[in-house]
Amino acid sequence: MLAAGGVGVLIGARAQDAISSALAPITERDPTGLTGLLPSGGGWRYYSVTGNQPHRDENSYRLTVGGLVKTPTELTLADLRSLPQTGLTKDFQCVTGWRVREVPWSGVRLRDLLARVGVAAQATALRLVSFDGAYTESLTLEQASRSDVLIALQMYGKPVTRAHGGPVRLYVAPMYGYKSLKWLGGIEVTDRVIPGYWEERGYDVDAWIGQSNGRDDEPV
Ligand SMILES: Nc1nc2c(c(=O)[nH]1)N[C@H]1C(S)=C(S)[C@@H](COP(=O)(O)O)O[C@H]1N2
Ligand SMILES: [Mo]
C-alpha cells in the first residue's frame, strides 16, 4: 500500500480519493518516521493525470507566453532565472485533504512576467498549459496578479524536481493544489476563463482554500 504513494500514477478523481484516504492516516500519524524515507515523504502525494513525468532539461525547457499580449515571448530557464525571484513559505493543500505545511518556494511572480509581456486591454484571464500534453489550468487576471502566485523554479531551496513538476511549475498559494499546474509549458492570455482539467471534471474554477468545492472545514 505504501508503494501507491510513490511517484506518479493516478488515473482519476476516484482513484485519487481512494489512494489519498488510504494513505493519509499512515502519513499523518507516522509513529515510526518511516514515511520520511519514502519518495512521497513529508506528506506529499505525487500526481500526474497522464501517469508519467514529462522531461525538459536545462537546454530544452521553454515557456511560451502568448495570446492577448503585446509581446509574445519565449523564455528559457536562464531567462526565468534572470528575472527577480520572490520567496514564499506557505502550506500546500490538495482538495482531497492532504496538506504539507510551510513549504519554501521561490520563483518569478506571475504578475511580474505579465507586466513584462504587456497584457492587452481585452484580456481577462489566463490559460496555463502543461508540457505533459494533458493538464491545463485557468486563472483570472485578478487572481494571477496576486503577490502569492508564483512561477516556481525552486522548492526547499533547490530546483523543482521532475516529479514535482520541474523545471518549472505554478504555485498558487491561496488555492487548492490542482491550480498549481506542474510542468508549465505555456501561458495564453485570454478574454475569458477556460476551465482547466479538473474543472472540466467538476471541481470549482475558483479554488480558494476553505471556500470552494464544498470543503469549508479544516482538513484532517
Ligand atoms: N501537470 C499536472 N499538474 C498537476 C497535477 C497533475 O496531475 N498534472 N495535479 C495537481 C494536483 S491535484 C495537485 S494536489 C498537485 C500535486 O503536486 P505534487 O505532485 O507536486 O505533489 O499538482 C497539481 N498539478
Ligand atoms: Mo490535488
Q: What percent of the chain has pLDDT over 90?
A: 76
**Would 165 be classed as within a structural domain?**
yes
Pocket of ligand 1 (CB under 6 A): 44-49, 94, 130, 132, 135, 164-165, 177-178, 180-183
Of the bound ligands, which one is closest to the alpha carbon of residue 137? Answer: 1
For ligand 1, atom 15, name the residue with the nearest CA.
Answer: 177
Say whether pTM exceeds 0.75.
Answer: yes
**Would 120 be classed as within a structural domain?**
yes
Q: Are residues 24 and 103 in the same domain?
A: no
Q: Are residues 196 and 112 in the same domain?
A: yes
Of the bound ligands, which one is closest to the alpha carbon of residue 46? Answer: 1
Mean local confidence (pLDDT), 190-204: 97
Higher pLDDT: 16 or 193? It is: 193
pLDDT at 14 over 50: no
Q: Among 182, 200, 203, 204, say which to mutate for ligand 1: greatest number of ligand atoms within 8 Å of CB.
A: 182
Check residue 17 and give its pLDDT: 46
**Would 100 be classed as within a structural domain?**
yes
Mean local confidence (pLDDT), 148-177: 98
Q: Are residues 73 and 154 in the same domain?
A: yes
3-state helix, strand, coil in the chain (%, to 5): 25, 30, 50
pLDDT-derived band at 214 (thresholds 50, 70, 90) equals confident
Alpha carbon of 86 to ligand 2 centroid (Å): 24
Q: What angle do CA 154, 63, 170 make, to 5 degrees?
A: 40
Q: Are residues 140 and 33 in the same domain?
A: no
**Would 191 be classed as within a structural domain?**
yes
Q: Are residues 70 and 37 in the same domain?
A: no
**Would 55 be classed as within a structural domain?**
no
> What average pLDDT does the chain have?
85
pLDDT at 39 over 60: no
Q: What percent of the chain has pLDDT over 70?
A: 78
C-alpha to C-alpha distance for 96 and 98, rounded to whole angstroms: 6
The pLDDT tens digits of the residues spanning 55-108 come to 999 999 999 999 999 999 999 999 999 999 999 999 999 999 899 999 999 999
Domain region containing 15: 2-43
Looking at the structure of the chain, the number of domains it has is: 2
**Would 213 be classed as within a structural domain?**
no
Q: Are residues 32 and 79 in the same domain?
A: no
